[in-house]
Amino acid sequence: MLMDFSFFLTIFATATISFFIIFRKFRIHQENIDVGSSTSSPSSSTSPPTLPSALTSNWTHHVFPSFRGEDVRRNFLSHIQKEFQRKGITLFIDNAIKRGESIGPELTKAIRGSKIAIVLLSKNYASTKWCLDELVEIMKCKKEFGLTVFAIFYDVDPSHVMKLTGEFGAVFKKTCKGRTKENISRRRQAFKEVGTIAGYDSNNWESEAAMIEEIVTEISKRLISYTPSSDLDGLVGMGDHIQKMKQLLCLDSTNERRTVGISGPSGIGKSTIARVLHNQISDDFQLSVFMKIKPSYARPICSDDHDVKLQLEQQFLSQLFKQKDIKIHHLGTAQNFVMGKKVLIILDGVDQLVQLRVLPKAVCLGPGSQIIITTQDQKLLKAFQIKHIYNVDFPPDDEALQIFCMNAFGQDSPYGGFEDLATKVTLLASNLPLGLRVMGSYFRGMSKEEWRGELPRLRVHLDEEIGSTLKFSYDALNVEDKDLFLYIACFFNDEGINCTFEDTLRHKFSNVHQGLQVLVQKSLISEETFSPMHNLLVQLGREIVRNQSIYEPGKRQFLVDAREISEVLTHYTGSKSVIGINLNLSSIVDKLIISGSAFEEMPNLQFLRFSNDGFYSLKRLHLLQGLNYLPPKLRILHWHYYPMTCLPSNFNLKFLVKIILKESKLEKMWEGFQVRIYHSSMSFVLFHFYSLFIYMRLLCRNC
């Protein structure tokens, strides 16, 4: 007895040392994975001025123009109207209003309903009474309500306007003949006031186009500053994201050109961050573009990279100039348009390196230009040598609950009595902002009973909107990486990606480690060894496998649903397709009674996991007439509360890599003497590490 004990102790010690050597190598390898990020110096911003509330509540359009049509309508005014349209600025158009001796109530209402008034002073501006009365009303609104007024002196001397001298003064006197002194006095005062405004004098500009561009840019800035920002309304935590991005962009620097990447999984909020940032800072650039990249797999792939780049460059120019169907015939056209200008470029949803190559070279852009790229694939950012990367983290629990509540209740906390239900749904979404928003909208307006009825379904089936968004990342993988994703989602996210993982799947994948790297780079898994995949991505993977055979679960690759597993094992409906069973024993509602040959219809089963995270699970699984068969290709046997005293005598250990029989009734490995041949040293070491530990524990108990 002592000799046997010493013999097994020696083997046990050897196996233990081998185990820890392998484990240490695995840990060292994992620590070499680099997903670094960088930071930069902070920047600051100033608060915009606000407009008096008397006007803000009555705005009906952006700009009211006052002009003499015969002087400017076909030239200057038409050009500035076109530029306003390009910038999305609405201009009051008076074509439907009949002009008379004086302005009517429609024009008065239009002036008071404007955010900004432009007074386009030309040589004959003072030749009509309605122009004079428009000016009086505009200057009155400026004084009483704070209306912003832009004065443009078009081929006329500002001093002549202010003092009503020269040719401009002569026209004014002619128009005022027959008017009362009071009326003339009001008009004179209006011209005096508008003449003192630091406006735009066309005689000081070499180019009319440049003057118009400057005017429109300044008006655009004023409009933005007057409008209370709603970018952050309902977007919990967005202020912190924007602040960190502004620090990375280093906006205070007037000369530095910078490219910044935003990285993170689908649904984390990368696009939202980029969009809000674009809205806040784009006005500080001469040109800006927010270009949404269509997923490469959803677009016909051209055989030549040149064609792909040409399509992307056409899309870039179309969005830059807000013109549809721009056609170009050679590459580099976009770079010529933006060369030397201060430009903001945002590419959202990049998933191919060729999409980045369409960007104009940073050195060709003007000082202060910024490029922002959002992607799930960190490898792309590194390949493009982007040093400044903002990795978007999942929100903390309190923020996640607020995001959900804003969409479910329209406030940042649950209604009374809904606290527990709201917390459960938030946990179900695993703090993914997309999931929190979609689920919040889904539950909005439901009663407590309806909430309770929907929760079990959502634990099994993924919401369609969430699933379609998350599936973009999966669809972009190659066939082998898709398989690895499904293996993790259906089995190894619960089992863990530990030191045996690569050896367990070596037979199936050409390079398991490389596949894991791809999934990490595409933000589909983290580098955690236990539960590396987000809960919603796990649901996505299991939904994909479920769709392999919706009504006959025994024909799928993996079985994970307790009800379906019970059905397959009880009614012998398994098949050769099944390679994995992952059953949480505590999820069994009724007793699961199976026969000793329940696995005979699944000869290709490689991964069997009966785990437990509840109580009384031992009483829920029953074997009739013992267990006389386990599939010969098993690589992992993980069975809590294994109910037999030994394994089947015909059990083939040739492929076994890991065996865990926690809290089992096992007393010995098998009946009789068995001769085993091992083809894998890893399988031998790890199998004996577990089996000898059990054997020695029993042996010591019997001594």
Contact 176, 141 (CB under 8 A): no
**Alpha carbons 396 and 532: distance in angstroms, whole number:** 18
Q: Report the SS3 class of residue 307.
A: helix
Crossing angle between the packed helical segments 397-408 and 419-428, to the nearest 10 degrees: 110
**Alpha carbons 293 and 355: distance in angstroms, whole number:** 8
Q: How many residues does the chain have?
A: 703
Contact 484, 519 (CB under 8 A): yes
For residue 616, the 8-state DSSP code is S
CA angle 29, 33, 37 (to 5 degrees): 160
Tokens in use for 208? 């009319």
123-126 long-range CB contacts below 8 Å, 24 or more apart?
Answer: 123/71, 123/155, 123/156, 123/167, 123/168, 123/171, 124/68, 124/70, 124/71, 124/171, 125/67, 125/68, 125/71, 125/156, 125/168, 126/164, 126/168, 126/171, 126/172, 126/175, 126/191
Tokens in use for 518? 């791809």
Contact 432, 534 (CB under 8 A): yes
**Alpha carbons 548 and 127: distance in angstroms, whole number:** 80
Crossing angle between the packed helical segments 464-475 and 433-443, to the nearest 10 degrees: 160
**Alpha carbons 328 and 399: distance in angstroms, whole number:** 47
Paired sense of beta strands 287-292 and 258-263, if any: unpaired
| Active site annotation includes 134 | yes
**Alpha carbons 691 and 673: distance in angstroms, whole number:** 15
CA-CA-CA-CA torsion sign (246, 248, 249, 253):
positive
Tokens in use for 188? 């004179």
Under the phi-then-psi rule, with left for phi > 0, alpha for psi from -120 to 50, and beta for the rest, what region is 497?
beta
Rg (C-alpha) for the chain, rounded Å, is: 36
Q: From the candidates 134, 495, 502, 601, which is the catalytic residue?
A: 134
The closest alpha carbon to 391, from 281, 477, 520, belongs to: 520
**Alpha carbons 323 and 85: distance in angstroms, whole number:** 12
3-state secondary structure 536-589: HHHHHHHHHHHCCCCCCHHHCCEECCHHHHHHHHHHCCCCCCCCEEEEEHHHCC
Paired sense of beta strands 258-263 and 200-201, if any: unpaired
CA angle 203, 206, 210 (to 5 degrees): 105
Beta bridge pairs of residue 582: 609
Active site residues: 134
